[in-house]
Chains A and B, each alone.
Chain A
């Protein structure tokens, strides 16, 4: 079935630095969502993209519009409160009327002073 490969699995950043997370898809995907898991375990939605890029504060996400085979999440000027586990999830192109989100395994981000 459709697979999502998320990297890196863990990342440590110093405050104020920039970095990027990436999700590669084994097949063409319709859309991608990015989430951050909070300390309670809830998923906080960051972005939903069917194409192109979106930006919100220090976060920016892009979805490869041409082949639709990868997405990135850029974190600018990392802050301590950015620490957490980030998940991407992509919507596959299904043969039926229903499509499902396929999740990556997550990136555990730790921002240190």
Chain B
């Protein structure tokens, strides 16, 4: 099974409220990634976990949190959603942290009102 699963597929949130998105994979992959994708833009890497080590991109460092309680699951947490967080959030995983194909989930479409 080479699928990455994401829940929910659609999420509606109010400005100022927290948002928690879930990703899972059963491929025993070392690395899991979170991307943000807006219309007419390339996906933007937010952060990734290599095993239990979290790496956050410098320009999104304070906006997103994540946890990886075990190898299979990874969450993306927004403490206080703003309108600018409306986007598709894509989770991906890879067997190792380099020289490896990334497998993408179907994404969660977040709309902040």
Q: Does A53 contact B (CB under 8 A)?
A: no
CB distance from B93 to the nearest CB of A (A): 12
Q: How near does chain A come to B88, taking the closest CB pair, in angstroms?
A: 4
Contact with A along B73-113 (1 / 0, CB 8 A): 00000000000000010100000011101111111010000
Contact assessment for B104 and A45 in the assembled complex, using a CB-CB cutoff below 8 Å: yes
Q: Which residues of A come within 8 Å of B, CB atoms?
A: 30-31, 33, 35, 40-43, 45, 48, 50, 87, 89, 91, 94, 97-101, 103-106
Known A42-B88, A97-B98; 14 more pairs at CB < 8 Å: A31-B99, A40-B107, A40-B109, A42-B90, A42-B107, A43-B107, A48-B101, A94-B98, A98-B48, A99-B97, A101-B102, A103-B42, A105-B42, A106-B40
Can you list 21 A-B contacts (CB < 8 A)? Answer: A30-B98, A30-B99, A31-B99, A33-B102, A41-B37, A41-B88, A41-B107, A42-B104, A42-B106, A43-B37, A45-B103, A50-B99, A89-B43, A91-B98, A97-B50, A98-B97, A98-B98, A99-B99, A101-B102, A106-B40, A106-B42
